[in-house]
Every structure is written in C-alpha cells, then in structure tokens.
Amino acid sequence: MKGKTVLLTGAPGGIGRCVALALAKLGAHIIAHARSDEKAAPLVDEIKKAGGSAEAIGFELDSIKAVREAARTLRERHARLDVLINNAAIWNGTRQLSADGFEKTWAVNVLAPYILMEELLEPLRAASGRVVNLSSNEHFLGRINWDDLQFEKGYAARYAYRRSKLALTMLTNELAARESGITANSLHPGVSGTGLFRNFPKFIQFWTWLLMRSPEGCAAPIIRLASAEDVEGTTGKFFRRFNIRKPHRLARDLDACKRMRDIVSSHVK
C-alpha cells in the first residue's frame, strides 16, 4: 500500500481504528474521518508517531451539505484516491430525523456513503481504486418498502438497520455494474462489541462484548479487500468475511439496484 491513499469513515472507533493502523503500517496514507477533526486527531497522531502518514477530516455524516463539502475538499487535496472504505454506521434506538429531514439511519448508512461514492468517482477512477462498503449479514433480513423507505410508519431500529444495509449492498452492486474502471464490493466483517451497540439494552451489550469477535478480527477482511492482490479486479461481490456469498436477492436484481440508486440520488439533490 506504499504511496496509496485511503479514505476511511468512522476511523477512530474500534474496527475503524484497527483498519487505519494496519493499512498505515502497510504504507498507505490514511484520511481518517470522524465527526470533527479533533475526534480524529488522536488516531492521526498515533499513526504519525509510528512512522505512518495520515490526515484528519471531520464532518457529520447525517448532513448532505457537510458530506458534499468534505468530498469537494478531498478532491482538491487528492487527485487520486486508491481506496474508499465506508465503515461508519449507526443503529438508532428511536426514529430521529437529520437536519435534512431524513430518518437518521437512512441518512448515515445510505445517503452519506452514496454521496462519497459519487462525489469521489474522479479520484477513484484516476487510481483504478477500490470501494469497500461495510454491509452486514443483517441485510439478508432486510425488506424494501418502496413507498416507505424511511419507516414513517412502524419504525423499529433493527428493521431500519437491516434495510439500510440492504440498500447499501444494492448501491454497491449498481456502482460495480456501472463503473468498469474501479471495483466496488460489500462485506460482512463479523460482529464486534463496538460503539454501534451503544443504543442496545445493557444486557445485550454485555453478551455482545463478551461473545463476539475482537475489532482486530473484524478488521482483517476489510484490510484484505482494501489491499490484497488476490481480490484485485474483483467487483460487485458480497463477502461474508473472507468468502464470496450470494447477497440478498434484491442486490442481485440490477433493475432493483438501479431503482434504489435513482431514489437515493433524488434524496441527495
């Protein structure tokens, strides 16, 4: 990864931090995203003290304007982007709206990654880059209600999360089918007791942290998709950790994937 540039959202958190440190150790320049520059600064300092290269970029993922402005800044700073890793995600216990009026799980888990993928296409193309989107096995349980994508009726956190990860998997495959100069894949890296579970009941958090994989274990398949030669050229696939698996049937339906892109595109205009 020497000389390559990686943008990683949600970089300071458990899995993100492990990915950032590992890719920096391989020689990559890490653009570490957090909600603010200050929140990303400790990770950037840690990478630099270890002899690596990194910079911080802070912006809120639930703001369309903020994500677009950040993408514009990144295009100005970097003519090439070798890897985009959409790692950040939320699981909202209650239905909340973003400043733009979108359900927050949808805004953070779907709209923000989509904007970054679209707005950073030029530097990704210049580097024949890779897009790595963190999906989840939960996407298999997702259902798409085309008339109520944001759960204005019958909201439940688990359903909103599942739908968001299904939508992201669909958008990944649509991008892969549309863009031949880059690769785009989604994956389930495993489950770790990270900040994603902060809104869960305490007893569920306890068993999650006790029984699930370590952040390092979940980071490993992400690092592979971002850097390994054996997956170079692989695109439009869903990985369950290290192995390719068939995704949800809708993610294999290109017409449905295009429909999802059209809807999401209309949301972020």
pLDDT at 213 over 70: no
Q: Which residues pair with 56 in a beta bridge?
A: 32
Higher pLDDT, residue 233 or 208: 233
3-state secondary structure of 8: strand
Is the confidence at residue 3, as pLDDT, over 70?
yes
Question: Quick check: is 155 catalytic?
Answer: no
- Asked if the model's pLDDT at residue 192 lies above 80, the reply is no
pLDDT of residue 238: 98
d(C-alpha 30, C-alpha 47), whole Å:
9
Determine what percent of the chain is predicted with pLDDT higher than 70: 92
How many angstroms separate the CA atoms of 202 and 207, rounded? 9
Residues facing residue 223 across a β-bridge: none
Residue 143 has pLDDT above 80, yes or no: yes
Considering just the CA atoms, what is the radius of gyration of the chain in Å? Answer: 17
Alpha helices in the chain (DSSP H): 14-25, 37-49, 64-77, 104-106, 112-119, 121-126, 157-178, 202-211, 215-227, 254-267
If pLDDT is split at 50, 70 and 90, which confidence band does 203 have? low
pLDDT of residue 195: 54
Strands 183-188 and 238-240: parallel
**Interval 146-164 mean pLDDT:** 96
Tell me how far apart the alpha carbons of residues 70 and 43 are, in angstroms, rounded to a whole number. Answer: 19
Question: In which band, very low, low, confident or very high, does the pLDDT at 13 lie, cut at 50, 70 and 90?
Answer: confident
User: In the predicted model, what is the mean pLDDT of residues 98-120?
Assistant: 98
CA angle 114, 69, 55 (to 5 degrees): 90
Tell me how far apart the alpha carbons of residues 166 and 242 are, in angstroms, rounded to a whole number. 19
> Tell me, what's the pLDDT at 100?
97
pLDDT, averaged across the chain: 94
**Catalytic position from the list 114, 155, 159, 161:** 161
How many Cβ atoms from other residues are within 10 Å of residue 157's Cβ? 17
The stretch 61-81 carries a mean pLDDT of: 98
- Placement of tokens 């802070």 in the chain: 58
Give the predicted TM-score (pTM) of the model.
0.92
* Cβ atoms of 80 and 31 closer than 8 Å: no
Handedness of CA 131, 134, 137, 141 (dihedral sign): negative
CATH number assigned to the domain covering 5-267: 3.40.50.720
Per-residue pLDDT at 191: 79
- Asked if the model's pLDDT at residue 208 lies above 90, the reply is no
Q: If pLDDT is split at 50, 70 and 90, which confidence band does 206 have? A: low
Residue 188: per-residue pLDDT: 97
